[in-house]
Structure 1
Amino acid sequence: MRIVLGVGGGIAAYKAALLLRLFTEGGHEVTVVPTDAALRFVGAPTWEALSGRPVQTDVWSNITDVPHVRIGQEADLVVVAPTTSDLLAKAAHGLAGDLLTNVLLTARCPVVLAPAMHTEMWEHAATRANVATLRERGVTVVEPDSGRLTGADTGPGRLPEPEAIHAAAMAVVAGDAGGAAGTQPGDVRDLEGRRVLVSTGGTREPLDPVRYLGNRSSGKQGLALAEAAAVRGAQVTLVAANLALPVPEGITVVPVQTALELQAEISGRAGEHDVVVMVAAVADFRPAEYTESKIKKTHDPADPDAAPTIRLVRNPDILAGLVADRGAASAPVIVGFAAETGDATGSVLDLGRAKLARKGCDLLVVNEVGTDKTFGADETSVHVLSRGSDDVVDIGPASKSVVSHGIWDVVVGSALIR
């Protein structure tokens, strides 16, 4: 496949080099078209070395080949990453002042734009209008991630990871953008006026003043779901268990540490919300006794391998308790998460279905986890199960931000919210 990779003039241009590698390793012929500003961040020799093809940046070189028309006409796919606010505006208004914007005007193939800019730029009314215009014309505009931006700023506007952009682009070519990249919300604020409660992170159960039982959860998925809900107009409260990630302004954060603390906050707030999403990785067990001082190793020469025995007790099932407390009331809608590894008793989906039946929540989001899967990663895949239905909605692989919007699409489309 002949791919044109446009590169805008932003600090995230370095990520486009990794995206280029993904395309070339997939056997595709890639022509890189950087803007003049992009070359201030990554030089032409880098693009030529990675693509194996010459880089052209203006309409005056090789003029006999009419590059400003030919490159777009011959492309099977055009991807621009990063797409700056300036490029979004030019594309939306049909401006063609350089080679890349000429390519965008002449291309008749799928076009995928991956924006990257500061939060204020991304949320500006002019940018939102430009994005809406482009999407109406059939252009795929990938929703940016939220996280660290240039300098000390954080928030929505971060370029998605190259793997997520690659997955979205391949899905568009395959005619299945929703299956791999999630449905983009655009300017839709379908959670306007709704109150959403999300738990995230991993609980820690203390053994002594310096040790605890914990898990590998980073809190990224729950944070992404909270951010996506806020973008779609919801009033969001995030109950965060040991979350070390920055949270955008406008989201109320309630910090907790243990499963019992999380249970108290969630159960006390659930009735005030329209949707409760339980993403946090809650410890199933906690130490039966807490030791006020540090547990010491013994130094008995007769028993050098001696170690204390730690007795555990079960933590409450917070999700099942929410369902039971709700009773026959229609609110809140309860969405559970099941992090599964699969075992001798069944596959990840088998265990997810059993958990849905056991918990009784409205929707259950199932994902496979492990030391190198999901926990801490920027990309994921999930399966959404619905109570009373055998249907499965598969979302991903894609960034956790994109997957989050896909999950909210299912929640809103389920007609559970009244």
Structure 2
Amino acid sequence: MSVLSGKKVLIGITAGIAAYKTASLVRLFVKASAEVKVIMTPAAKDFVTPLTLSTLSKNPVHSSFYDEKDENAVWNNHVDLGLWADIMVIAPATANTLSKMTAGASDNLLLATYLSAKCPVYFAPAMDLDMYKHPSANNSFEKLQEFGNIMIPSESGELASGLVGQGRMAEPETIVEFIAKDILKKLPLKNQTVLITAGPTYEAIDPVRFIGNHSSGRMGIELAKTAANLGAQVNLVLGPSSLKVDHALINVVNVFSAKDMYEAVVSLYDNCDIAIASAAVADYRPKNIANQKIKKKDTEFSIQLERTDDILKWMGGQKQKQFLVGFALETENEEENAKNKLKSKNLDLIVLNSLNDKGAGFKGKTNKVSLINHKLEIKAFDLKAKSEVAQDIFNEINTLKDE
């Protein structure tokens, strides 16, 4: 999974011969798991068909504010399109369109959307050699970059006129790679390593049975995804879970028991910058594990339990450079118990949730948390999707790390 996964990419296509390459560009973004929408200038339809781009993007292609041939036409809102996008890419960007972007002209849907966009805007110039070298074109390049737009340099090669030189639109693979690298270098957790524990642990009674809990691992997995999308290299120590993790920056270490998780954490802890213990680790395990399945008897049966290793306490005791986050799932005296855990485990931040809150806790896709920092300051959040909770947690981590 790439850094573009889940990104909303708006591709603006103008009327240059290089427009024929945009079918490949759309396909590459979709292949990178981005969601793609396309806007074309009316003249761009002479170079590549909307049907091709719509089929590849799996979204309607827009080229005007409304369809004059359709009496029931719906207004294509340029503001909504601009706000929808995480990234806008104008490719090919002709001299004509670049000049209009510089001047603030908005005589078509693409330009109006560009002026409404709140996201990073990339432009890939495509024009003939003399046009590319002309002072007016260079003025457009400079002005647009002063506005904060990002230029994807043109390449040298044979041009449509037959001349050879700079002016060719960068190849679709180059455009996608350029944007991915640009996003990655700006991410707040680039060059950081994050260690996350997630899911339950299962403590064997015999070869068939175990002691466990209802944790699905979803909260920890969402934390891992968020960290990876912020540029971190993530080591996810995951107890038994049916959920799948697929991200190029996430290394999944599958474990079964609390002992397995402890050993994995010990091996990875020294090299991490941020550690988040979100796993629901068993506090006790059977002292003796039967080698064979225990047969049912008419008499009562008891199991002697012993303490498991306190992974979070070990992490707090060994903490040096690490920013350490723990979780507290409580049913009573929630804030008091969470604050005591924060201090006793030497944490920088603790995430408190209560089983008394509907929609919070195990299994579900939502959670309701409060964040308590080392100053015992509390931030309470409403019920949210666990993916949004993960973002809130990392927002707080990044704020506290910068203090």
TM-score (norm 1): 0.55
Question: Could you say which residue in structure 2 is the equivalent of 1:377?
Answer: 364
Contact 2:83 2:116 in 1 (8 A): no
Match of residue 190, structure 1, among 173, 188, 191: 188
Larger RCO (alpha carbons 8 Å, 6+ apart) = 1
1:187-222 Cα shifts (integer Å, max 9, x gaps): 632222222221112110011111111112222222
**Which residue does 1:125 correspond to in 2?**
178
Q: Distance in 2 between matches of 1:363 and 1:307?
A: 44
Distance in 1 of aligned mates of 2:176 and 2:58? 27
Q: Is the 8 A contact 2:189 2:232 kept in 1?
A: yes
Distance 2:174 2:217 in 1: 26
Contact kept, 8 Å, 2:82 with 2:113, in 1: the verdict is no
Contact kept, 8 Å, 1:121 with 1:127, in 2: the verdict is: no
Spell out the pairing of 1:27-176 with structure 2 (5 A cutoff): 61=67, 72=77, 88-89=88-89, 124-126=177-179
Larger mean CA deviation between 371-380 and 285-294 belongs to 371-380
Q: Please state whether the residue corresponding to 2:280 is helix, strand or coil.
A: coil
CA contact (8 A) 1:195 1:235 kept: yes
CA 1:102–1:296 in structure 2 vs 1: closer, same or farther (change >3 Å)?
Answer: farther
Q: Pick one of 305, 311, 317 that aligns with 1:312.
A: 305
- Whether contact under 8 Å (1:240, 1:255) holds in the other structure is yes
Superposed CA deviations along residues 46-68 of structure 1, whole A, max 9, x for unmatched, are xxxxxxxxxx9985657799967
Q: In the alignment, which residue of structure 1 is the partner of 2:233?
A: 235
Q: Single out whichever of 202-211 and 240-249 deviates more from structure 2.
A: 240-249
Quick one: distance in 2 between partners of 1:216 and 1:352? 21
Amino acid at match of 2:202: R
Alpha-carbon deviations, 1:218-253, whole Å to 9, x = none?
222222222332333323222222244234234333
Change in Cα spacing, 1:128 to 1:66, as seen in structure 2 (3 Å) is: farther
2:292 pairs with 1:263: no
Is this contact kept in 2: 1:205–1:213, CA < 8 A?
Answer: yes
Aligned mates of 2:238, 2:246 — CA distance in 1: 10
Asked if 2 retains the 8 angstrom alpha-carbon contact of 1:203 and 1:241, the reply is: yes
C-alpha separation in 2, matches of 1:217 and 1:399: 13
What is the match of residue 323 of structure 1?
316
Cα distance in 2 between the residues matched to 1:122 and 1:407: 33
For 1:313, give the aligned amino acid.
E
CA–CA distance in 1 between the matches of 2:247 and 2:219?
14
Q: 2:385 aligns with which of 394, 398, 401?
A: 398
Partner of 1:289: 288
How far the C-alpha of 1:103 sits from its partner, in A, is 8.7
What number of residue pairs does the alignment pair up?
299
Unaligned runs of 5+ in 1: 1-6, 12-34, 45-55, 112-119, 133-185, 301-305
Tell me how far apart the structure 1 counterparts of residues 174 and 383 of structure 2 sit (CA, whole Å): 27
Task: Please say if 1:388 is aligned against 2:375.
Answer: yes
Look up the match of 1:21.
none
For 2:176 and 2:254, the matched residues in 1 are separated by 27
1:206 is matched with 204
Take 1:79 and 1:189, find their aligned partners in 2: how far apart are those partners? Answer: 22
2:250 is matched with which residue? 251
Name 2:161's counterpart in structure 1.
none
For 1:372 and 1:204, locate their aligned partners in 2 and report how far apart those are by CA, in whole Å.
24
Aligned to 2:205, the other structure's residue is in SS state: strand
CA distance in 2, matches of 1:205, 1:193: 36
Deviation, 1:292, is 1.4
* Structure 2 CA distance for partners of 1:38 and 1:92, relative to 1, 3 Å: same
Identity of aligned residues (%): 24
User: Is 1:414 aligned with 2:366?
Assistant: no
Partner of 2:218: 220
Which of 314, 332, 352 is matched with 2:322 structurally? 332
* 1:351 corresponds to: 337
Distance 2:389 2:194 in 1: 17
Flag the structure with larger Rg.
2
Q: Distance in 2 between matches of 1:213 and 1:368?
A: 22
Letter aligned with residue 125 of structure 1: F
Deviates most, 226-235 or 272-281: 226-235
**What amino acid is the match of 2:321?**
A
Q: Which runs of 5+ in 2 are unaligned?
A: 1-9, 12-25, 31-49, 99-107, 120-172
User: What's 2:351 paired with?
Assistant: 365
Q: Give the direction of change, closer, same or farther, for the CA distance of 1:295–1:79 in structure 2 (3 Å limit).
A: farther
Equivalent AA in structure 2 for residue 373 of structure 1 = A
Whole-angstrom CA distance in 2 between matches of 1:100 and 1:216: 51
Distance in 2 of aligned mates of 1:288 and 1:106 = 67
RMSD: 4.9
